[in-house]
Amino acid sequence: MKHRLEKDAMGSMEVPFDAYYGSETFRTIQHFKISGQKVDLALVHTYAKVKKATATANMRAGKLDKEKANAIIKACDEVMSGKFDDQFILDPFQAGAGTSLNMNVNEVVANIAIEKLNGKRGNYKIVHPNDHVNMSQSTNDTYPTTVNITCYSLLHELLLPVLKSLEKSFDKKSIEFSKIIKIGRTHLQDAVPMKLGEEFEAYSGAIKKSIESIEKSSYFLLEVPIGGTAVGTGLNTGKEYQKFVLEELKKVTGLKLRRANSVFTDMSFRQDQLELANSLLTTSVLLTKIANDLRLLSSGPRTGISEIILPSVLPGSSIMPGKINPSIVEMLNMVCYRVMGSASTVAGAVSGAQLELNVFTPVISYELINSIRILSNAVKAFDVQCVRGIKANTKNINKYIEMDLEVVTALNQYIGYSKAAQIANIALKENKSILQVCIERKILDKETLEKVLNPKNEV
């Protein structure tokens, strides 16, 4: 392999001749072979947007000459388009604060810009990664800004649409099942009757609250610390740049970004990202509860509850012929457990920050972006391949409702709790319905009993 020689603060370094990245990126590649994964390209593309906005702001402020600025802007456009995705191969677990990724972007953009100015890669006298591409910036303000914008965009492009679709699917099922009376269950024991549609109404409501939580947390992601540079003071920027950079970043992202009320807070605390992690955690907890309910309600098909029938997607056993499992729901469970763990990682990383900087932002971004992606995919599959095809097993539902002991609750107002409990115990012991026992013991006249103990009159 041919190499070119580059120099940085650590000394000289041979870099693959054809690479658009430079010495700092290559050092990172050599020293941080951790997970075998790569930084999410959505983060890279957003970082290029930030670099485009900063180059334009520096040009407007008279800090960066027009020729260099335009070359950098064009280079950023090409990075944003995905043309140079193969130049971003850093491991997500890298040096603290995200400096490695920032320099990866700086070097690639610089070398693309150099070629546009008819220079050769590595000739940083033409366009320098630090002096020109990183002008008026630090990793410490650009990386958290990039993470916030990336997460906001992915939430609104991926996760929120599929959650809203899932909410609608549960709404439709609640209407479809609105006339089906079934046994309610508390403590995993038989309770008073309810409608199957009401059970699904609860699921729809939980998803709606999750959507509201995510939307609220995403609002705070629009506050960015861009312009704070190293510790929040804005050293090496200037007032004009501070004004222009937010204007340009709004243009290039199309988002209603706001400058953080306290740049110092946003750079040393990652509270906005913690809020997002918590909303994803809440969503995963609620989805897990729904998934567990559906697995219980569909258990069987002959020796479980089997009140609903889930769509079959694949054989469930390598040894038991004909066995079908709730595979899509099990997948959702596993994804939710992973997102819960990610939220714990984010909480640890936020709490581990010290003084003016959170050096653990790379793992925060990795966990948040990965959680958004896998949760989006899982919710979509759950909605399309499971929820929309759920059917009610009315045969079993009706069988259970006929033998429900807790319809006796409706007799409390006529005979009192204690006597009603005695009747329930007799019905259980003799394996009879509540109505049978009441008629045999002439608790009330038959017409009143049939009216009072009719499950339809109890919901």
Give the start-to-end residue ranges of the domains of the chain: 3-135, 141-220+268-394, 403-458
Topology (CATH) of 403-458: Ribonucleotide Reductase Protein R1; domain 1 (1.10.40)
The type of residue at 237 is T
* Coil/strand/helix, residue 94: coil
Give the single-character DSSP code of 8: E
How far is the C-alpha of 428 from the C-alpha of 434, rounded, in Å?
9
Q: Give the per-residue pLDDT at 7.
A: 87
Q: Tokens for 257, please give them.
A: 């970004």
CATH class of 141-220+268-394: mainly alpha
Residues in the chain: 459
The stretch 183-193 carries a mean pLDDT of 93
**Scanning the structure block, which residue is given the tokens 């390209």?**
41
Annotation says 317 is catalytic: yes
Lowest mean pLDDT, pick from 170-174, 296-300, 409-413: 409-413
What angle (nearest 5°) sits at the alpha carbon of residue 197, between those of residues 196 and 203?
100
> What's the pTM?
0.93
Q: Supply the mean pLDDT for the chain.
A: 95
Q: Residue 138: which pLDDT band, with cuts at 50, 70 and 90?
A: very high
Over residues 242-281, the pLDDT tens digits come to: 999 999 999 999 999 999 989 999 889 999 999 999 999 9
Going by DSSP bridges, is the β-strand pair 181-186/189-195 parallel, antiparallel, or unpaired? antiparallel
Residue 192 in tokens = 């008073």
Over residues 97-113, the pLDDT tens digits come to: 999 999 999 999 999 99
User: What pLDDT, in 10s, does the model give residues 27-48?
Assistant: 999 999 999 999 999 999 999 9
Report the distance separating Cα 322 and Cα 316, nearest Å.
8
Q: The domain 3-135 is classified under which CATH number: 3.40.50.1370, 3.30.43.10, 1.10.275.10, 3.40.50.170? A: 1.10.275.10
Q: What is the pLDDT of residue 53?
A: 98
Q: What is the pLDDT of residue 278?
A: 97
Which pLDDT value is given to residue 458? 79
Query: CA-CA distance, 365 to 382, in Å (whole number)?
Result: 25
Q: How far apart are CA 167 and CA 441, in angstroms?
A: 48
pLDDT tens, 405-429?
A: 888 899 999 999 999 999 999 999 9
pLDDT-derived band at 168 (thresholds 50, 70, 90) equals very high
Question: In the predicted model, is pLDDT for residue 1 greater than 80?
Answer: no
Which one of 35, 81, 178, 317 is the catalytic residue?
317
Whether the domain at 3-135 and the domain at 403-458 fall into the same CATH topology: no
What is the pLDDT, as a whole number, of residue 405? 86
